[in-house]
Structures are given as C-alpha cells and as structure tokens.
Amino acid sequence: DAGVIQSPRHEVTEMGQEVTLRCKPISGHNSLFWYRQTMMRGLELLIYFNNNVPIDDSGMPEDRFSAKMPNASFSTLKIQPSEPRDSAVYFCASSTYTGFNEQFFGPGTRLTVL
Amino acid sequence: EDQVTQSPEALRLQEGESSSLNCSYTVSGLRGLFWYRQDPGKGPEFLFTLYSAGEEKEKERLKATLTKKESFLHITAPKPEDSATYLCAVVGTGFQKLVFGTGTRLLVSP
C-alpha cells in the first residue's frame, strides 16, 4: 500500500498567488481530512469529507481557502490569494468511516508564502 | 470546546531512563483518545487508541493508559530511535473531528 500521497512536497510562492495542494487517500478509505500544522498552533483540522461530501469545514480559516473532493481518490486544497501567514505544513489524512478510526497521514506539503 | 494539553513540552532522557508523557483533556463525551508519533519532516504515525478509563495498550517500549481526565504514555528503557514528537488527540461528540495537543518533543541520548 502506497499510503496517503501528497503533492507537491514543498511549495514556495509569492503573496497573492494561487496555491493548490493535492492529496490521494489510501484506496478503500472513505474519509479524508485536511490539517495545517504550525509551531504556534500545532495541528489543526481544516475540513473533512465522508464519501466525497464535505462534512465539517468550520476549521477553514477564511474564504480564501477552499477544498474539493471530486472523487474517492483525489482531493485538493486551494488558497487564493495566498498570504505569508498561510505558511505552514499542510497534511492530508484518510481513514475508514466507522465512526472514529485511526487516521493515516500523508507526508505533508511545506508551504512558504513570501 | 474540546481541549488537549500535553506536558512536558520537551523531554530529554538518557538511553534506558524510563519516563512518562502526560496528556490532559477536556471533552464532552470522550469517544476515543489517540496517540501519534511524528518524526521530523513526516506526518504523524498512529500508535494507540484508548476508548474508556482504565484501558491500557502496549507496543514495544510504549504503554498508554487512560483515566477520565488524562492519559499517560509510559516509555520504558527508551532507545535513541524513540526520539520524536508524541502527539495526543481526542474525539468527542464532534465524532470524527480529532483535536490535537501541541505535543511532547522527546530526545533520547545514547
């Protein structure tokens, strides 16, 4: 099993640019989660999907952030326009949906906004 | 609001020196408490899930315990390869929504 796949692994962009982060969950997992990790705030849940449907997006910081899951094997997190305070490591995780199960994390995307 | 507090923030041990990490939580209706390990530059790796007070789980040199207000991760005779950040998270009535603590950075010196 390849595990959760994220791309790119590193992204450096300038303020105001659009950023798109990508995630491929583990095959057979029907729940997908996007997290952001910073030194100050730790690991924070941004949004999660069950069976491709967004369930809770209360952690999305602003309207500049959007996430989609067009099918069971692909999700994107988009930031438009990006700001320096968006610099962080963004993780995608997936799990089977049986209420609450362990989540398997990808390697993360380190985003730097200049 | 669900909250998780981990202590200490950082811990330095000599190889073989046993110790414990603490995770205190406030949650409405605990459904599960999770321990993860995170190595630098990597995503968190699942270790344990505990569901009810009194429950214990073990894996190699690690043992996790749970009470109604806190969880402990006991590390027995640690080795340098146990060096990592250990994260605690809870799921309450938010169902699948994990709330993480900020972690304990463990460094084990040979």
Among left, alpha and beta (phi > 0; psi -120 to 50; other), residue B60 is left
- Residue A100: predicted pLDDT: 65
Q: Would you give the DSSP letter of residue A84?
A: G
Pairs of residues, one from chain A and one from chain B, whose beta carbons lie less than 8 Å apart: 53
B1 touching chain A per CB within 8 A = no
Provide the pairing of β-strand A88-95 with A31-38: antiparallel
Distances in Å between the Cα of A88 and the Cα atoms of A9, A37, B34, B54, B71 are 12, 6, 23, 37, 28
> Cα separation of A34 and A32, whole Å?
7
Neighbours of B46 (CB within 10 A): 16
Residue written as token pair 């202590």: B7
CB contacts of A95 in chain B (<8 Å) are 96
How big is the CA angle at A81 (ends A79 and A84), to the nearest 5 degrees? 85
* B100/chain A closest Cα distance in angstroms: 6
Q: What is the pLDDT of residues B59-109, one digit of tens each?
A: 999 999 999 999 999 999 999 999 999 999 998 876 668 899 999 999 999
Question: A20 or B95: whose pLDDT is higher?
Answer: A20
